[in-house]
Amino acid sequence: MNEKIPLKKIHELMVKSRVLEERLIKIYKSGEGFFWIGGPGQEAFDVCLGLQLKKGRGNQFDWFHGHYRSTPVLVAMGMEMIEGVRMMKNLATDRSSHGRNFCNHYGFPEWNVAPISSPIEVQYSIAIGTAWAQRAEKTQGITVVTGGDAGTAEGDFASCLVWSSRPGSELPLLILVEDNRWGISTAAETQHGDKHIADRGKAFGMKTMIVDGNNAEESWNAIAEAVDYVRTKRKPLLLQANVSRLYGHSSASGASFVTNETDPIKILEDQLMKEKILTEKQIKAIWEKFQESSMNALNLARTEPQPTAESVWDYVYAGNENADWRKF
Amino acid sequence: MANMAQAIRMALHYGESHLGLKDIFGEDVGPPLGGVFTATQGLTTTWNSPLDERGIIGMGIGIAMTGRRCVAEIQFCDYIFNTIDLLKIAGNTCWATYGQFPIPLVVMTPVGSGIRGSIYHSHSFDSWATRLPGWKMVMPSNPLDAYGLMLAALKDQNPVLYMKPKALLRVKGEELIPGEPSDEKELRSMIDAPLGDRSQWKPQWPDLKEYVVPIGKGKRLREGQNGTVVTWGRMVPLTLQAAQSLETQGISFDVIDLRSLYPYDWSMIKESVMKTKRVLFINEDTEVTNFGEHLLRRSIEELFYHLEARPRVLAGKHLPGIGLNPVLEDNSVPQLHDIIHELKELASEVP
């Protein structure tokens, strides 16, 4: 084991994220929420990413443009379970959207976490803007954008490659693709003739990498190398992480655990036990701790208010300027 | 007097020097061309983008998200349609995040017909735009308003769509922009790039002053008794011409240049219609689900018992495009004779 990689911490955050997602699924299945979509299966790669971002507000810090499977990144950055539960229950206390958006569509300005929206891949064409601002202001911050493999068919992904690699105007942009080989029910091999998505970066003279995103150590090292490259060279890098999708696409496809894909937490736990870093009993205690936390979060959320009817007009415009034509 | 393209250029210069404007970008926006209508010539923060409208809007959203001021241009509104979902995101991000992520982005784009632009250089976008909640949208009809509305857009914390009526971009104003030299030749020599090699050229900007046209405020351009006409953009000078010609026949109209489509100046419309008791809304976008229909609906719902004639909309025909042949274009969007006809009908209807 590499001593510099905080595997125990990574494991704990992976479990925390998984338990949160499983709690959100239960909330959906019990009728307390409307829709679930999330990131079980991406914990190894995403937690390692979240721990290596330079977190803060402003262009000197890193910008993160995630998607609806990025929950483990946010958990690793310090998001508490209650935030996920509030959003799942579309409560007024949901600080990302005040009950307006789907679960796991977070946005945290204090951490430069750009708001996640449902349209596939638009984050890739928006991320070039934050990276441009960081380049123009000569900060040390970088922009990190991530999405799935199916969405790389969208034009926004091509936009991202083109705009980030303009000669003389290269952007400090880490372009990630978390490849789970699925687009809802459509298998990647039926739609994509390219062998590796990462290869597309080569046409733009871009450094590219491919990593087993289910292996925490390999993910940690790949992200460290990629982040360092983008931060110091101020150039884009395309990194493809091969990951799992452990509960299907969303609640629309049942949100049940699939047994034929690799579970990154299981892999890491086997390693931690083999290397005598954690015992089975200790691992069980970690799971139980977060199970209890997730129930506490749900019980707290159950006491919190719904948005009010009159709040629908709030913040159509910045500063809550009136946007209702009836009042013009 | 400056023309509208020069006025926009001066407003952007004022933005660069006084309002923190840091990036003006789009296809051919930077040197050497300075925009296909020269509205971005000689500015210091302009740069050319790839030929990618989605990238332009995405870039603008991302820049604005950081709080940095930018203006993104779509070269013709005919090419903005593949960015609709990004425009939607620009408009809904503040709301979707309960005010946490305002998007102070200005997108400018030439709109409308009148330059024999055929199917893909003659579109209007005003009615499409008004279906994008969260945006503000403005359309000047003269250089002074073009200057004042751009300054307002650059100060706003929300996404603002700044629509440039392309047929009016070369039309000179009748009022000086504050700081503009009164001799138009002098202005041209100061801020218009020379033909040929421009690599060593630098503009000499006049000492421009702040002049803001508040978003949401219309302007009453003529006073009359026989009806109210509400219009914007390219239809404004045509409507003024029509109203002037009818005044010699003893028929007079209030003519309102709405200037801002959303938010819009309902109090000005309402006050005028309650006085004249007749109203016509004119614009050149296609007529089905036209923004004028919203204003007409509101007129019916709120002013029905004040009306002495049917309220009307005169707009472009519901056609897939504007044909190149002048006969086709002139029979697709309202022309002077159409406006005169509608005004006469409005004024002469007996309840």
Interface contact A315, partner B, CB < 8 A:
yes
Question: What gap in Å lies between CA B75 and CA A311, rounded to an integer?
Answer: 37
Which residues are CB-contacts of A242 (< 8 A; sequence separation ≥ 6)?
A: A179, A210, A211, A212, A213, A214
Express each pLDDT in A75-85 by its tens digit. 999 999 999 99
Per cent of chain B over pLDDT 70 is 100
Question: What gap in Å lies between CA B108 and CA B35, rounded to an integer?
Answer: 11
Interface contact A124, partner B, CB < 8 A:
yes
Contacts of A317 in chain B (CB under 8 A): 94, 134, 136, 157-158
For residue A42, the tally of other CB atoms under 10 A from its CB is 31
pTM: 0.97
B residues 194-223 closer than 8 Å to A (CB): 216
Cβ-contact A256, A40 below 8 angstroms: no
Decide: helix, strand or coil at residue A147.
Answer: strand
Contacts of B44 in chain A (CB under 8 A): none
User: In this structure, are strands B219-222 and B254-257 parallel, antiparallel, or unpaired?
Assistant: antiparallel
Decide: helix, strand or coil at residue A113.
Answer: strand
User: In this structure, are strands B46-48 and A237-242 parallel, antiparallel, or unpaired?
Assistant: unpaired
What local confidence, expressed as pLDDT, does residue A4 receive?
87
C-alpha pair distances (Å), A144 with each of A67, A84, A176, A220, B162: 12, 22, 7, 15, 31
- Please give the domain boundaries of chain A with CATH numbers for all domains: 7-327 (3.40.50.970)
Question: What gap in Å lies between CA A85 and CA A19, rounded to an integer?
Answer: 11
Place of tokens 């091969």: A242
Region B73-88 average pLDDT: 97
Interface contact A56, partner B, CB < 8 A:
no
Class of domain B4-191 (CATH, top level) = alpha beta
Interface contact B55, partner A, CB < 8 A:
yes
Interface contact B59-A125, CB threshold 8 A: yes
CATH number of B219-348: 3.40.50.920
> Quick check: do B4-191 and B219-348 share a fold?
yes
Q: To 5 degrees, how large is the angle CA B35–CA B36–CA B41?
A: 30
Locate the chain B residue with the closest alpha carbon to A97.
B97
B115: distance to nearest CA of chain A, Å? 31
What local confidence, expressed as pLDDT, does residue A194 receive?
92
- Residue A1 pLDDT > 70, yes or no? no
Contacts of B263 in chain A (CB under 8 A): 322-323, 325, 328
ipTM: 0.97
Interface contact A119-B89, CB threshold 8 A: yes
Interface contact A170, partner B, CB < 8 A:
no
Residue B349: band (very low, low, confident or very high) from pLDDT cuts 50, 70, 90? very high
Cβ-contact B146, B8 below 8 angstroms: yes
Express each pLDDT in B126-158 by its tens digit. 999 999 999 999 999 999 999 999 999 999 999
Q: Where are the domains of chain B?
A: 4-191, 219-348
Interface contact A132-B22, CB threshold 8 A: no
Q: Across-strand partners of B110?
A: B164
- Residue A2 pLDDT > 70, yes or no? no
